[in-house]
Structure 1
Amino acid sequence: MAAPALRGSLLALGATRRATAHGPFDVAEFRNVATHRSAFALVRGDVRGDAPVLCRVHSSCVTSEFLGACDCDCAGQLEAALAAIDGEGRGVLFYLAQEGRGAGIVAKARDRMIVQASRHRTTTFEAYERMGLHPDARRYGEVADACALLGVEAPLVVLSNNPGKVSALEREKLRVAEMRPLARDASPFNAHYLEAKRASGHVLGTARADAAELPRAVACTTPRPLHGLPDVLHVATYLLPVGGSIDAPVWVELDAFVDLASRAERIALRGG
């Protein structure tokens, strides 16, 4: 990894080789000393030099990547990007802790609750506006700093369906050679979400007509302390399709909480 070990507020902590379903990657770990968040770069091959570098800038999604939820396309895009870099033999995937388009897991849970309570008449972007949030609060300064630490100076071929992400990267003074869309088919369980993204300018196919119906109604609630635990606020409950097959997932309830004492965000699953 190129010196210096600290670029801006991003501290390079070293790299290890890790096996994945798409072959081995060198995983560089970083720590933002200002936000105390971790970031990672999964590197294949020598990404230095003048040749354009295949690149994916990916934001974390706990529900799809760790819980197996199928109401978004995040995990699918992650797998497709790693497969593309493996096929190219050279590239880098930046993995950033920017859950919920940078607003966090609690805001994401309230977004899903608002959308589901409206029976999908409200989009995810409208829900963020209703909460007083920017529709996409992600920032990509960490990518620019990580590129400098890794010695990536060539233009990037960005694996994304989002022209707004390309513009945001360019605002960080990163050169983008082209945007290469990640084609993923919609499922009945993420059809509403992908249609909202398509309508907002993402490069996606036409909407599916067979979007899945919720198994039961969802109520839009206000934050409230748990009985006997006044420092723990319950902030949202929504329905999450997880596990099983893409055609027949299991619906569970996801509850989101804020621990006022530790300022931690927490989630719990119920049912099944």
Structure 2
Amino acid sequence: MTTFHAFCLAAPRSGEGKTTLSTALMRALTLRGLRVQGFKCGPDYVDPTFHALATGRPACNVDTWMMGRSGVRLLWDMRAHDADVAICEGVMGLLDGRDPDSIEGSTLDCARSLGIPLVLVCNVRGMAASLAALVAGFRDHAARWGVRMAGVIANGVGSARHADLLRRALEREQLPPLLGALPRDEGSGLFGGLAGCAGHGRDGSRRSGRPAGPDALSASRRARSPARLAVRRLPAAPHGRGEGSGILLLLCGQ
């Protein structure tokens, strides 16, 4: 069986660094010669253009509220069946969906529908041992819906000692491990300003060059890929288009 890795990058809220980390990981793995497929939870049209730029493959939106769980799974099968790695970037906070009484449309619902684990991205500026309480809460909420948290990536780390404090805090409480730590200034400025103003084509091509940040992260030995913790069964290519697949293809820029 072909080895296939898949996981979903989630966060406690918007602004934690999901797009920076997603794009950086996609670029780093692509530079290692892997076929990487990007996905984005929700109807966001900007982040998938960065995914396509990093991977060289059109990225896709998945949304259980608009597409239903079966539609999300169909699109996943259509686009991930020939990839080595699939990375799905979440939307807002892990549990934020259609309304407070439902997880429909949330990152958690996408991960549940696809049967893939979570990697929690946290901005840890001004935080050390408190990270353990934050991670424990999100891990437990995810587990109620049958979704596993594979690990944590810390964004905005102040120093190597800071990263070690975070790692030890998670280990002490027997929580998912710290997979990587992005220094405070390393990810700054990657997508500053209004990202939608960048010149992207429908195929993800960009007329103004590539962002330097993902390439810099790929060369950094501080980053450990969470892919090794997320081995999944390779999706099979759908035999037929099925009902509604024309809409799914439009969401992929076809």
Which range, TM-score by smaller chain?
Answer: under 0.3
| Larger Rg belongs to | 1
| Structure number having the greater strand percentage | 1
